[in-house]
């Protein structure tokens, strides 16, 4: 049980340090919104740059939790070929879904970046941080997008996640780091005493401080 996201981030940071991460080609990427307060602690401990990774999962209309792909900034789009083929998703339909999600992605990116350019991930070790994993679909999307944006190594780091979700994520990144793997697992918020929502204003302030 973590007191809040700050404490969770400090515990996660110790795990990341123990894994030998933190050279001059490492960047920390927080998933908005709740992953950013956790990511701040990892970034501060490692002494490396912090940014957000803004992604949008493209879910099947009839089954939104099942991702047929994901999009990221700068027009990055990745597809889950197995899901596309098994559900007979037409290219035109996938393009239309990606375009719709792109509108929201661009809105979110503008809101969090305030015209700041995103960090260049080319050749970097990207440590992607969230406050926990439930199904793992957003985590997988973030890993795929970071890879498509040029990251040479992907580490997904979280304070808490079910064992099954961690195992399922292994093929989307190089390393998964997790402080706690409780069983049974029902929801991320169960493992925080304070799991209050993180606001957009808080995300922007945390990023501003990290980049000042």
pLDDT beyond 90 at 70: no
pLDDT of residue 74: 80
pLDDT confidence bin for 9, thresholds 50/70/90? very high
Distance CA 127, CA 131 (A): 13
Q: Is 42 within 8 Å of 16 (Cβ atoms)?
A: yes
Instruction: Please choose, from the candidates 12, 203, 7, the residue with its C-alpha nearest in 3D space to the C-alpha of residue 112.
Output: 203
Q: Is 25 within 8 Å of 125 (Cβ atoms)?
A: yes
Helix (H) or strand (E) holding 28: strand 26-30
Go through the domains of the chain in sequence order and give each one's CATH number: 5-54+118-211 (3.40.50.2020), 56-113 (3.30.1310)
| CA distances to 35, 37, 43 from 3, in Å | 15, 13, 19
pLDDT of residue 46: 95
């Amino acid at each position: 049980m973590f007191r809040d996201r700050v404490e969770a981030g400090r515990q996660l940071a110790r795990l990341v340090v123990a894994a030998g991460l933190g050279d001059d080609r490492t960047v920390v990427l927080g998933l908005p919104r709740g992953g950013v307060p956790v990511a701040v602690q990892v970034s501060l401990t490692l002494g490396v740059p912090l940014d957000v990774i803004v992604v949008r999962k493209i879910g099947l209309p009839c089954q939104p939790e099942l991702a047929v792909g994901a999009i990221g900034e700068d027009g990055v789009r990745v597809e889950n070929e197995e899901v596309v083929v098994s559900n007979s998703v037409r290219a035109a339909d996938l393009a239309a879904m990606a375009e719709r999600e792109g509108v929201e992605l661009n809105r979110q990116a503008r809101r969090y970046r305030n015209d700041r350019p995103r960090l260049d991930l080319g050749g970097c070790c990207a440590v992607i941080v969230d406050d926990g994993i439930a199904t793992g679909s957003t985590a997988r999307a973030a890993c795929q997008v970071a890879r498509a944006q040029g990251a040479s190594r992907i580490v997904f780091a979280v304070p808490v996640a079910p064992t099954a979700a961690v195992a399922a994520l292994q093929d989307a990144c190089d390393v998964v780091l997790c402080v706690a793997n409780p069983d049974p697992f029902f929801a991320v918020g169960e493992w925080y005493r304070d799991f209050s929502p993180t606001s957009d204003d808080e995300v922007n302030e945390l990023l501003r401080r990290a980049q000042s």
